[in-house]
Amino acid sequence: MLRRTMAEFDIKGGLQNVWKRIDEVLLHRSQDIKTARPVLVAVSKTKPADAVIEAYQAGQRDFGENYVQELEEKSRHPDIVAQCPDIRWHFIGHMQSNKINKVLAVPNLYMIQTVDSQKLATKLDAAWSKVQPPKDEPLKVLIQINTSGEDVKSGIEPKEAPALFEFIKSNLKHLKLMGIMTIGAYGFDYSNGPNPDFVSLMQVHRSICEGNSLAPESVLVSMGMSNDYDRAIEMGSTVVRVGTSIFGYRAAKA
Ligand SMILES: *Cc1c(COP(=O)(O)O)cnc(C)c1O
């Protein structure tokens, strides 16, 4: 018997399962939830270009990476450039100031999900205004919120998020603020009830929408990964970031 290698993981099947599950959850989701239909971001970190192309060919367009160097390499990979013209790259990793220009130079960069301070937002805004060739569109961003209060996690405190939202909206014309995101604590036990990270992010969503007179469906909410994207959608998530359920297990980073 041949051993099944990572490369042989059925990516198309994985994607189809996730798409199907998203539809199921939406069908049964409470009518009180007024957020938009979720976008699936396929998190391809540590996976080869071939895996991205396979998912793209199955119909997936949004992809997420959280290591800058890997995003740079994959987004410029000749096979991806040739075969995935409409790919949309989401940066979902911690953003260091000295890497901003590298990330902004990524071909088909679509959104940065991890803006967590006024300082970083201001630098991104300035850097985007200088990108060559000049862009006709502002850079799409989400504010990352540290809902779990863990020191190791990036993100702004939930109570400070509305002020950052208003700061970006009123001052940074080169950024298009699309919504908010959280990573949350790993391994929440759902027999204890709803995930407090999701509850917290939805509270921030509500206060931002109310404070700025915005329709709930106009402010994106990025929450939910392989083990809980369905629960996240039940609570109002509009962007789910799923890796393992699409691409199979990742080798641990050395
Ligand atoms: C790796 C990663 C994911 C995907 O995690 P899976 O459990 O493999 O689905 C989602 N979001 C972020 C920020 C990640 O780093």
Residue to probe by mutation, ligand 1, list 225, 231, 245, 247, most atoms within 8 Å of CB: 225
Q: Which residues contact 238 (CB under 8 A, 6 or more apart)?
A: 35, 36, 37, 38, 39, 179, 217, 220, 221, 222
Assess contact for 205 and 219: CB atoms under 8 A.
yes
45 lines ligand 1 (CB under 6 A): yes
pLDDT in tens, 113-166: 999 999 999 999 999 999 988 888 999 999 999 999 887 778 999 999 999 999
Distance of CA 243 from the midpoint of ligand 1 (Å): 6
What share of the chain has pLDDT > 70, as a percent?
96
Provide the CB-side half-sphere exposure for 131 (13 A, CA). Answer: 23
Distance of CA 244 from the midpoint of ligand 1 (Å): 8
CATH of the domain at 129: 3.20.20.10
Determine, yes or no, domain membership for 1: no
Determine, yes or no, domain membership for 28: no
Which domain covers residue 126, as residue numbers?
A: 11-17+37-247
pLDDT in tens, 31-77: 888 888 899 999 999 999 999 999 999 999 999 999 999 999 999 99
The minimum-distance atom of ligand 1 relative to the CA of 93 is 13
- Which pTM does this prediction carry? 0.94
Determine, yes or no, domain membership for 3: no
The minimum-distance atom of ligand 1 relative to the CA of 247 is 8
Residue to probe by mutation, ligand 1, list 18, 39, 43, most atoms within 8 Å of CB: 43
What share of the chain has pLDDT > 90, as a percent?
83
The minimum-distance atom of ligand 1 relative to the CA of 41 is 10
195 lines ligand 1 (CB under 6 A): no
How many separate domains does the chain show? 1
Q: Whose CA is nearest to atom 13 of ligand 1?
A: 92
Determine, yes or no, domain membership for 252: no
Assess contact for 60 and 40: CB atoms under 8 A.
yes
pLDDT reported for residue 254 = 52
pLDDT band, very low/low/confident/very high, at 7 (cuts 50, 70, 90)? low
Considering the chain, what is the average pLDDT of its residues? 93
pLDDT at 1 over 60: no
pLDDT reported for residue 35 = 81
Residue with tokens 């000295």: 98
pLDDT in tens, 76-128: 999 999 999 999 999 999 999 999 999 999 999 999 999 999 999 999 999 99
Determine, yes or no, domain membership for 22: no
pLDDT at 243 over 50: yes
Assess contact for 78 and 47: CB atoms under 8 A.
no
